[in-house]
Structure 1
Amino acid sequence: MTSPRLLRVAAQPVEAAKTLLRRISCELDFARAFATLTGDTHWPALIEHATAIVEGCTGEVAEAVAEAEAVLAPIGVAAKAYTIHCVGHGHIDMNWMWSWQETVATTHDTFQSVLQLMREYPSLTYSQSQASVYALMEKYHPELFAEIQQRIAEGRWEVTAVHWVEGDKNLASGESLARHLLYTRQYTKEKFGLDAADLPLDWEPDTFGHANTIPTILAQGGVKFYYACRLGGGFDHAVTGEFPRPKLFWWQGPDGSRVLVNKESTWYNSYVNIGDNIALPAVEFFRDTQLTDWLNVYGIGNHGGGPTRVEIEYLQETATWPIYPSVTFGTAKGWYERVAAGDLSHLPVLDHELNYEFTGCYTTQTLITQANRFGENYCVEAETLAAITGRDSRGSLREAWINILFNQFHDILPGSGVRQTREHAMALFQETGAITGAIKREAGKALASGLNTAIFAPGAATLGEFGSGAGAGIGAMESGLSKSAGGGSVRPYVVYNPCAWPRTEAVTVRLYDTGFEPGRIVARDEHANNHPTFFLTRGDDWGHSYVDVLFFAQNVPATGYKTYALCEGKVTVEVPQVKALPRDVFETPFGMLRFDRYKGGLVEVHHQESGITFLEGDFESLGEWELTREQPRGMTAWVLGGSVESQAVTVSGHHVHGVTRNRGTSYPSGTSMAYVVHQSLKVPGTKSTIKVQYLIHGFAPRVDVTAEIDWREIGDPERGIPGLRVHFPFDGYEGLPIRFETPFGSVVREDSDGEEVPGLRYTHVPLDEGGFTLLNDSKYGFMVEGGNLAMRVIRSSYDPDHAPEVCKHTIRYSMVFHDRAVDASDLTRMGAAFNHPLIAFPAGVQEGTGPLSKSFASVETPSVVLTSLKKAEDGNGVILRLVEYDGQDTEAVVTLAEGFGTRATLTDLMESPVGGRVDFDGKTLRVPIRASSFVSVRVVQ
């Protein structure tokens, strides 16, 4: 019997011959492709000659290969002027098909493997994105983290992290994307000593589409380069702009900012990548870009892995081939900088969004998308309240933000994860709710502490009654912000406005153990004016009785507060009235609304002053619900079904709250400042139900809607994917440019022909006269087809999570009717206000000297919106972020209260100083802003 050792020895010549034959085969294929690139007329004959030598070989393979390569030598000399830059990588999906603990283990194993290979192969380089993976190694495997730090210092381990995760670029808010850059830059500077200039690359190969404003945001975060793969048109989706995408191009934001984008030529994971001949896609790149350098990203990914010995040794082998481009190990930054150093004026410029990819992900896993929106809102509100009350909550807020940022990973926020993904995401959101709720609660106490609320109860012996414990913890289920209040004959509330413009909006409060007669409750302001309230409900809660009332806080100062006291009294303030008429008709100061008690929603809408009719007739309803059922086509979390069946959801119960009945007849009489229309809907063929409440009032031409959905449906391959959506028909308006909010901006899209499209807080339909705006508090997926706008609410995908939606959901949206054209800045303010309701902080009855109403920051420029007011990360002053939304160069004017500071400077998103003019006299701040751009300003003492 032949020994294993002798077998190996005998096989060596065969293996060597195979290696040589693979080599010459790759060289010949490359030479043929390369000849078409250069157009050299002599090369085809050389290639034909060399091919004949190899194919006619009857002796030593090595001799034939050497002879063929000698013939091809002129081609080899020219080829060495072109270079393939090999960058090792290991794509690590955060909590995709696995739990958090497996994510930690996957990251550890990948990094341990890379470090071992670096010890064995001195020329090996490796690139890794995502600050989160470094942070978890620091926490769970500090010794391994220390070795990574050493390799980074050597320049062999490249950090490509400018975001906390490789996140979604359509569903995250502008402020979230700004915080990705801020906190990631902080981390990489602190742990690795890397400045923004050391990290100019945003690494996003697997992100499912990219909003139009991303270049604008990246430019202010010090990012010059972009690496991506999914840039629209995948899975037969509609595509915006040029297709197929160029391999290398400038991507331009609405303000003119640019980043250099390399669209991955092959793929970012080796096992679905190139094959043996890595030079063939390189030649295509050379031809299309007129460049001589190509980036080859290799390594096993998704579940980690990184480069393998087989890959490394093969790449080292190709570097020795004479008829081949130069092959070298390098970094992605090195490749981009080498390319950018040349003349790139010939590259195409794309100035639009790069969508669409995996459009089912705009609605899949609605609990996660709702948690994302709520978490973003809570963080912004908490940091502003901390800043204006002088609280230093930077560490807690950083933790709260990073929880939200982590959940924006491209397989978490888009809902394409397993059950454990959702569970971990919701736990992080709850922690953010607790952190921000506590900060807001303490800030609310600080706002109230010095106020002279005793004026609301002159002569009463109730001083210091705040916090007796009634209703402990009420309202804190999601946000962590409780609204408990003590007893007494008056109940003071500090009503806080998170937005930087005055607002008149509804406030709902729950009053415990008052003994108040609901019909006599008023909201008394600081001038002793009694505003009417609207009784909502009463009940008992953990041994306490309560009553819920709604009132309209009027002209609450910008980024400020106004104090009211709830008590018994006689109304002394006239408010806009709503009149209830027969046939479910309501007249408001703005016009007439008629509800459909059978199909739900509005069946008629007329604007009084302008005479505009938004909807008329009994055939369609504005805001009608429908059950949808998608035909499954695989990857149900990602991809919408090939065809959709729909069925109307009809009303099973209808009544109006607030109507005074006329002596038992069916005709309502009297007037009121508000009514609530309640409709119950049974989803046909299911056990699911919907309860919808429409708030009608006379303060604005809008109807605010709250829907409570008891959803019990599970999708499967036989029955498809059940879901819900709400329709808003505008027949005769096909092809209208519909405006959707994007991060720090907006985008106009025409009829999407049934394609699902992403949007943030608002969607605006311009009509011949006026327009219609749909506001929402947690939805991201919309459709425009044949003049119909639809908002998708729920879809029960079944893989990889088999039952993600079975629970009770609550969503809010608002239908707003305009009698004029509306600017993007106006729409942004409406969306922000709807997502940041007025906050009522309970206060005690006390003596004090503080003003009962105050504004801390007000933006006076119509096209500019303040999106953030926060304490600076280094503790020195506050940072204001001002965004221009209407596409016009302007000067932002902001009025600040005393105490913020006396000096102002411009900063980037990392809060580092940049050049530029800012005028500030301690009260009025003036700063130029380019059209569709934004500025960050530091105000210090």
Structure 2
Amino acid sequence: MTIEYIIYITYKNLGDIVNKIHLVGNAHLDPVWLWRWQEGYAEVKATFRSALDRMKEFPDFIFTCAGGAYYKWVEENDPAMFEEIVIRVNEKRWVPVGGWWIQPDCNIPCGESFIRQGLIGQRYLLEKFGFISDVGYNVDSFGHDGMLPQILAKSGLVNYVFMRPDVKENDEIPSVLFQWESPDGSQVCSFRIPVSYSDYIGSTRNCYEEKLRMAAEEVSRLDMDLMEFYGVGNHGGGPTVRTIKTLQKVGEEIGDKAQILFSTPSTYFHQMKKSKPSLEVYSSSLRQHAPGCYSNLLSIKRGNRQGENALLAAERFSVLSGWLSDHVFPSESLQRGWEGLLFNQFHDLLGGCSIERAYQDAAALHGEVSTIASREENMALQKISWKIDTWWIKKAMGKDKHWQSWEQDDFGIPVVVFNPHSWEYNGYVTNKICCSRVEDESGQFDPHQIIRGAYNNNKDEKWATLFPVSIPPLGYRVYRLYLTKENPEIKSYVNSMNITQHSIENQYLVLKFNPETGSVSSLIRKETGFEYISGEASLGLVIDDSHCDTWGHGEDRFDLVEGRFGQPEFSIIEEGPLRCCLRVVTKYGQSKMVLDYYLTEDGHDITVRGRVLWLEKYRMLKIAFPVKMINSECLQSLTFGYDRTNADGKEKVGQKWVALRGEDPLGRMGILAIANDGFPAHSFQDDEVRLTILRSPEYADHMGEKDGFIPNIDMGTHSFSYALIPSDAAEVESEFVSIFRGAEELNLDPTVITETYHKGTLPLIQDGIAISNENVFSSALKESWDKSGYILRCSEISGLVSDTTIELPLLGVRFDASFTPFELKTFKISKKDKRVQEVNLIEL
């Protein structure tokens, strides 16, 4: 008898007399938490073995489990057990759900990470079991980004199961079953687990009896079917013999209120869409539980951001290299990198609430990800740079002038700059050699500045060359750096910058500091006189959160200011003509923070590079930005978009930027955006946003025991960066291009390769992509899963309807595409005939 027949007979017999409780047997498996991944690996196998045994003992029992990584572990380590699972899947007794590689944190990863969770997870299910899941499944994740419905739906996951936030944490979510809608209009039918996804223990009858009776009461109150999840979880385990017998017995006792059946999430959603075709719609992020998790472990959060950027750049450059050379896209290597990165996005790991040893393992895995990405990027780019025709010297190479360069007779050192972005990059790069002159590929003079290098090698070899570049979208450009060639044009170059001990200024902006506190006291746009700052900005605040546990359970804000960094010391690090840098050192207790403020001569934003020696236990570091705007609103980035947040002082989590928008005292509209390089938490109240840099509870201190035995998180030295991006725009949509690009460029620099003289077939400048609309950008360019084409993913980021022309000149491909606001589109370009077709996110 098949499970479909069992379910059919059950429903036929029950009819519409009473509502049903769909019992979902599962085991929540944390591969890492209060244990290392090796223990999680063993627990997956033990749990799967137990579930298979239960199927032999109870013919109606069905097991549900999410996480492609777990199935791969079993496939590799116990192929025989994996074959048993395949048989049970074919019988529909075992139901793989989720369609993702792992159950990740659902706020911190970038949009492409969520897409790859689905691509790799769903493709694994399709290859091993012959189907893709239709149920997204992140039952323990602490919140859910508002753009996920689009990503889920376009990955085949039209239903979604979650538990957090619960009704006490977010009472605006309608009922337990609703349509969750993202800003583009995509919807997924979503179920919020009302009690719990699993249980810690399986030995007592009362645990499951209580849950089932509560579910029966809820079914009666709501007058609708519900799912009830059972099985020992977190450290695996799943349904036990006693559990199943208890549920069967209690099910008989509550028969007048509800009927129970062993079921699956897919079955539940299928039945509910028939009985309740119209559901309430919720159109916002599902937030938020455990706000402390979004500032724990700065290193893993920045490591995740860096890994994402590195893998995406390696993919783009590998495709570009394949178009320009004989380079073969390294699909297996990069997939290994993605699987490692996606594993480290597990919610308890990326959320910073696991044991200390787990983070040593995670750092090692991030190291592998970085190594894979950098190796593949370097291979791809050096295939290109080696084929560029730099043979302008037309004589034998030699290091007669400098031991680190091949320059001969003032012919210039070829330096190739690669742009990883889908728009033209206009910014600055450095070369570690101190040069006298810089020219572009046509011999045109380029101004430069000698700055302090990142090394000391004898008395004189500690200087580097900073110079401006303009690089085509997803392309490259060759510059020539000269060691001794004269530079007469520099005499006529006008220096528009000015720096003092307490201010930096260029032709667009004036940044002033309070000499008493070290804070930013003023940020003015010269053209309009718009003042963005009110009070003391960019100042370190020390927050007392000693009453909190690692998660921040029961908290929704961190606002107990214990003190402020002070005792400032100012020093000028760089002094024009292209860039100025003012260093501000402040202290608090035994802690010290160094902030380097960079402003370029043509810059419309300020980059801040920070380093902090943090020694404050059970405290949090925030950096505040009060703005001189009336009734400002706060905007925070989502994956592929943005939303608005309340001025309530609660701890929030975004993506790569947060912005304040409001009127100055003269009624003019302004925006101050602040981009980050991996610390996504912030709060907003009274026209002030506070970035949360880090916090230092004990590792994995569940419910705040604080017995002093466990080390504190984030003690020591940390680096971070942010950018201040001011604007005068009246309409926020028109400024999202500059905000978005500024945030992306803060997180991903161009790649610079110092070359030699050689003949080649490639030109000195080359572009790789052209997108006609600035508000449409490409988030991914890679080889397709089936290796028959290329995947180009684009999205609209400003909330505008856009008709766009996209061109890939090296392929001779040009096509038009229409985007609705915040729409995400995936295009597959055939290698064979260059035909373009739109596919979903899992490339089907």
Q: TM-score, normalised by structure 2?
A: 0.88
1:733 maps to which residue? 630
The answer to whether the aligner puts 1:685 opposite 2:626 as a matched pair is no
Q: Which runs of 5+ in 1 are unaligned?
A: 1-75, 471-484, 512-517, 660-670, 716-720, 900-921
2:750 maps to which residue? 838
Q: SS of the counterpart of 2:70?
A: helix
Are 1:129 and 1:161, in contact at CA under 8 Å, matched by a contact in 2? Answer: yes
For residues 360 and 811 of structure 1, what CA distance do their matches in structure 2 show?
A: 18
The worse-fitting range, judged by mean Cα deviation, of 152-161 and 489-498 is: 489-498
For residues 817 and 627 of structure 1, what CA distance do their matches in structure 2 show?
A: 26
For residues 793 and 494 of structure 2, what CA distance do their matches in structure 1 show?
A: 35
1:755 maps to which residue? 650
For residues 351 and 934 of structure 1, what CA distance do their matches in structure 2 show?
A: 17
For residues 77 and 879 of structure 1, what CA distance do their matches in structure 2 show?
A: 49
For residues 609 and 31 of structure 2, what CA distance do their matches in structure 1 show?
A: 33
For residues 544 and 122 of structure 1, what CA distance do their matches in structure 2 show?
A: 80
Are 1:538 and 1:545, in contact at CA under 8 Å, matched by a contact in 2? Answer: no
Q: SS of the counterpart of 1:454?
A: coil
Are 2:18 and 2:256, in contact at CA under 8 Å, matched by a contact in 1? Answer: no
Aligned pairs for 1:150-229 within 5 A? 150-194=87-131, 196=132, 199-229=133-163
* Matched AA of 2:624: H
Aligned pairs for 1:315-394 within 5 A? 315-318=247-250, 323=256, 325-345=258-278, 347-390=279-322, 391-394=328-331
Are 1:576 and 1:673, in contact at CA under 8 Å, matched by a contact in 2? Answer: no
For residues 557 and 572 of structure 1, what CA distance do their matches in structure 2 show?
A: 25
The worse-fitting range, judged by mean Cα deviation, of 524-533 and 398-407 is: 524-533
Deviations 1:617-653 (A, max 9, x none): xxx3331222222232334566668762332212442
Deviation (angstroms), 1:704: 1.0
Q: SS of the counterpart of 1:709?
A: strand
* Matched AA of 2:593: I
Aligned pairs for 1:240-279 within 5 A? 242-243=171-172, 245-271=174-200, 275-276=208-209
- CA RMSD in angstroms comes to 2.7
For residues 831 and 540 of structure 1, what CA distance do their matches in structure 2 show?
A: 28
> Which of residues 669, 674, 692 in structure 2 aligns to 1:774?
674
Aligned pairs for 1:11-30 within 5 A? none
The worse-fitting range, judged by mean Cα deviation, of 147-156 and 396-405 is: 147-156
Are 2:68 and 2:125, in contact at CA under 8 Å, matched by a contact in 1? Answer: yes
2:839 maps to which residue? none
2:780 maps to which residue? 868
For residues 480 and 212 of structure 2, what CA distance do their matches in structure 1 show?
A: 75
Deviation (angstroms), 1:541: 6.0
Deviation (angstroms), 1:232: 5.4
* Matched AA of 2:625: F
Q: SS of the counterpart of 2:238?
A: coil
The answer to whether the aligner puts 1:572 opposite 2:467 as a matched pair is no
For residues 25 and 282 of structure 2, what CA distance do their matches in structure 1 show?
A: 29
The answer to whether the aligner puts 1:711 opposite 2:643 as a matched pair is no
Deviation (angstroms), 1:383: 0.3
For residues 748 and 96 of structure 1, what CA distance do their matches in structure 2 show?
A: 33
1:590 maps to which residue? 508
Deviations 1:663-715 (A, max 9, x none): xxxxxxxx622211122222x222x22222111212222111111222234x3
Distance change >3 Å, CA 526–CA 333, structure 1 → 2:
same
The worse-fitting range, judged by mean Cα deviation, of 485-494 and 836-845 is: 485-494
Q: SS of the counterpart of 1:411?
A: helix
Deviations 1:84-113 (A, max 9, x none): 222211001121110111111111211111
Aligned pairs for 1:94-493 within 5 A? 94-194=31-131, 196=132, 199-231=133-165, 239=170, 242-243=171-172, 245-271=174-200, 275-276=208-209, 280-287=213-220, 289-291=222-224, 293-318=225-250, 323=256, 325-345=258-278, 347-390=279-322, 391-455=328-392, 458=393, 461-462=396-397, 490-493=412-415
Are 2:697 and 2:713, in contact at CA under 8 Å, matched by a contact in 1? Answer: yes
Deviation (angstroms), 1:549: 2.6
Are 1:232 and 1:354, in contact at CA under 8 Å, matched by a contact in 2? Answer: no
Query: What is the identity percentage for the equivalent residue pairs of Structure 1 and Structure 2?
Result: 24
Deviation (angstroms), 1:546: 4.1
Tell which structure's C-alpha radius of gyration is larger. Answer: 1
Q: SS of the counterpart of 1:572?
A: helix
* Matched AA of 2:570: H
For residues 772 and 763 of structure 1, what CA distance do their matches in structure 2 show?
A: 9
2:820 maps to which residue? 930
1:559 maps to which residue? 474
The answer to whether the aligner puts 1:653 opposite 2:538 as a matched pair is no
Deviations 1:569-621 (A, max 9, x none): 316377773432556333311032223344224222221212212237xxx33
Deviation (angstroms), 1:285: 4.3
Q: Which runs of 5+ in 2 are unaligned?
A: 1-12, 323-327, 664-668, 701-709, 835-844
For residues 45 and 164 of structure 2, what CA distance do their matches in structure 1 show?
A: 27
For residues 802 and 792 of structure 1, what CA distance do their matches in structure 2 show?
A: 21
Q: SS of the counterpart of 2:630?
A: coil
For residues 363 and 589 of structure 2, what CA distance do their matches in structure 1 show?
A: 30
Q: SS of the counterpart of 1:117?
A: helix
2:579 maps to which residue? 674
Deviation (angstroms), 1:566: 2.0
Distance change >3 Å, CA 652–CA 121, structure 1 → 2:
same
Are 1:247 and 1:289, in contact at CA under 8 Å, matched by a contact in 2? Answer: no
Are 2:698 and 2:713, in contact at CA under 8 Å, matched by a contact in 1? Answer: yes
Deviations 1:725-754 (A, max 9, x none): 2111114534x2211111122111131x22
For residues 542 and 695 of structure 1, what CA distance do their matches in structure 2 show?
A: 25
* Matched AA of 1:308: T
Distance change >3 Å, CA 691–CA 460, structure 1 → 2:
farther
1:500 maps to which residue? 422
* Matched AA of 1:572: E
Deviation (angstroms), 1:773: 1.2
* Matched AA of 2:637: E
Distance change >3 Å, CA 773–CA 155, structure 1 → 2:
same
For residues 403 and 161 of structure 2, what CA distance do their matches in structure 1 show?
A: 55
> Which of residues 527, 538, 543 in structure 2 aligns to 1:609?
527
Are 2:174 and 2:280, in contact at CA under 8 Å, matched by a contact in 1? Answer: no
For residues 279 and 140 of structure 1, what CA distance do their matches in structure 2 show?
A: 36
Deviations 1:883-921 (A, max 9, x none): 11222332222121222xxxxxxxxxxxxxxxxxxxxxx
Are 2:649 and 2:685, in contact at CA under 8 Å, matched by a contact in 1? Answer: yes
For residues 163 and 452 of structure 2, what CA distance do their matches in structure 1 show?
A: 53
Deviation (angstroms), 1:446: 1.5
Are 2:673 and 2:726, in contact at CA under 8 Å, matched by a contact in 1? Answer: yes
Q: SS of the counterpart of 1:106?
A: helix
1:905 maps to which residue? none
For residues 633 and 221 of structure 2, what CA distance do their matches in structure 1 show?
A: 34
The answer to whether the aligner puts 1:600 opposite 2:542 as a matched pair is no
Deviation (angstroms), 1:344: 2.2
Deviation (angstroms), 1:548: 4.2
2:642 maps to which residue? 746
Distance change >3 Å, CA 233–CA 360, structure 1 → 2:
farther
For residues 575 and 439 of structure 1, what CA distance do their matches in structure 2 show?
A: 40
Distance change >3 Å, CA 636–CA 267, structure 1 → 2:
closer
The answer to whether the aligner puts 1:805 opposite 2:737 as a matched pair is no
For residues 493 and 344 of structure 2, what CA distance do their matches in structure 1 show?
A: 44
Q: SS of the counterpart of 1:389?
A: helix
2:8 maps to which residue? none
For residues 48 and 787 of structure 2, what CA distance do their matches in structure 1 show?
A: 35
